[in-house]
Amino acid sequence: MPRLLHSGQAIVDLVMDVPGLPSPGGDVLARSANFEAGGGFNVMAAAARSGMPVVYLGRHGQGRFGDLVRAAMQAEGIRLSLACSPGADTGVCVALTDDSAERTFISHIGAEGELSAEDLAQVTVTATDYLYVSGYSLLQAHKAQALLDWLLELPATLPLMFDPGPLLALVEPALLAALLPRVDIWSSNRAEALQFTASQDIAEAMLRLAPQLAREALMVLRDGAQGCWLNQQGEAVRVPGFAVEAVDSNGAGDAHAGVFIAALAAGLAPLAAARRANAAAALAVTRRGPATAPRSAEVDVLLRAG
């Protein structure tokens, strides 16, 4: 059965619901504050809730944050490739969601920021596996190089999804130049694609992005409530979203990515997988917190209603 091998970072989110962000030097009272598993956990949980076996390849720390992340992964049936890393705790991200449902992050990297060739050598890869790489994994050059070397030694037939994230501009160009031709599925939001390609609109972004990826790469560009765009070999199509009342966009893109890759692994065509991912993301934004991806039965209900 196809598995998702997730090489990103599972961290802890300090989730705070605020009316708006304070001005520099100011303050604002949060309506709620909770510690929850987040980061790469969101994608893994979304895929697992869609029935896809998931293996977390990253490190996890020794301390209360590491304990929280491990418990969350174990509750979702996610298998851990590595033992606990002594001497450092898992990282934390302050995730602020304001009244517009927009989220703002401040992240601190912990034990998950490390990954070695020896760590990756322990991973058993099968011919039906799917690979997932986050742009955050490329921010630490030593981790990025170990991960890149490992990926490029694997068979090119293994589908690789890349989620660039908002900090791709900080990644060394040489690392990106080596990774992008291996990317089979690009999954990002509109803003990330426009920023990376220095484009004014999605059509231009897809045109500029395509030559940098694998020849038959599938581009998935999320466009908020509008749904998403698919592009493969120059054929672009918009897949409409679902009308919902959004309260928190934190984790919606992760829900989309996890459900999309699980749907592909289950044999769905990209268009059907995108519609399913749109439904999952729509349900996710109606709930507060980072890992709010629905289970398959909930997605089925919305698809039938839509």
Judged against a pLDDT cut of 80, whether residue 8 lies above it is answered with yes
pLDDT digits (tens, 9 = 90+) for 30-73: 999 999 999 999 999 999 999 999 999 999 999 999 999 999 99
Judged against a pLDDT cut of 80, whether residue 119 lies above it is answered with yes
Single-letter code of the amino acid located at 123: V
Say what the pLDDT of residue 141 is: 78
Per the listing, tokens 């999804």 go with 161
CB 259 within 8 A of CB 47: yes
**DSSP symbol at 81:** S
Judged against a pLDDT cut of 90, whether residue 223 lies above it is answered with yes
Which two structure tokens, joined as six digits, stand for 110? 């912990």
Which two structure tokens, joined as six digits, stand for 57? 């390849």
pLDDT band at 235 (very low <50, low <70, confident <90, very high): very high
pLDDT digits (tens, 9 = 90+) for 134-159: 999 999 877 999 999 999 999 999 99
Single-letter code of the amino acid located at 175: L
pLDDT band at 161 (very low <50, low <70, confident <90, very high): very high
Judged against a pLDDT cut of 90, whether residue 306 lies above it is answered with no
Distance separating alpha carbons of residues 146 and 270, to the nearest angstrom: 31
Nearest residue to 295 (alpha-carbon basis) of 88, 26, 48, 98: 48
Say what the pLDDT of residue 236 is: 94
Specify the pairing of strand 227-232 against strand 218-222.
antiparallel
Tell me, yes or no, if the pTM score tops 0.85.
Answer: yes
User: Angle, to 10 degrees, between the axis of helix 252-265 and the axis of helix 270-284?
Assistant: 150
pLDDT band at 249 (very low <50, low <70, confident <90, very high): confident
> DSSP states of 124-179 as a string?
---TT-EEEEEGGGGSSHHHHHHHHHHHHHS-TTS-EEEE--TTGGGS-HHHHHHH
pLDDT digits (tens, 9 = 90+) for 260-293: 999 999 999 999 999 999 999 999 999 988 889 9
pLDDT digits (tens, 9 = 90+) for 250-261: 889 999 999 999
Judged against a pLDDT cut of 90, whether residue 102 lies above it is answered with no
**DSSP symbol at 305:** H
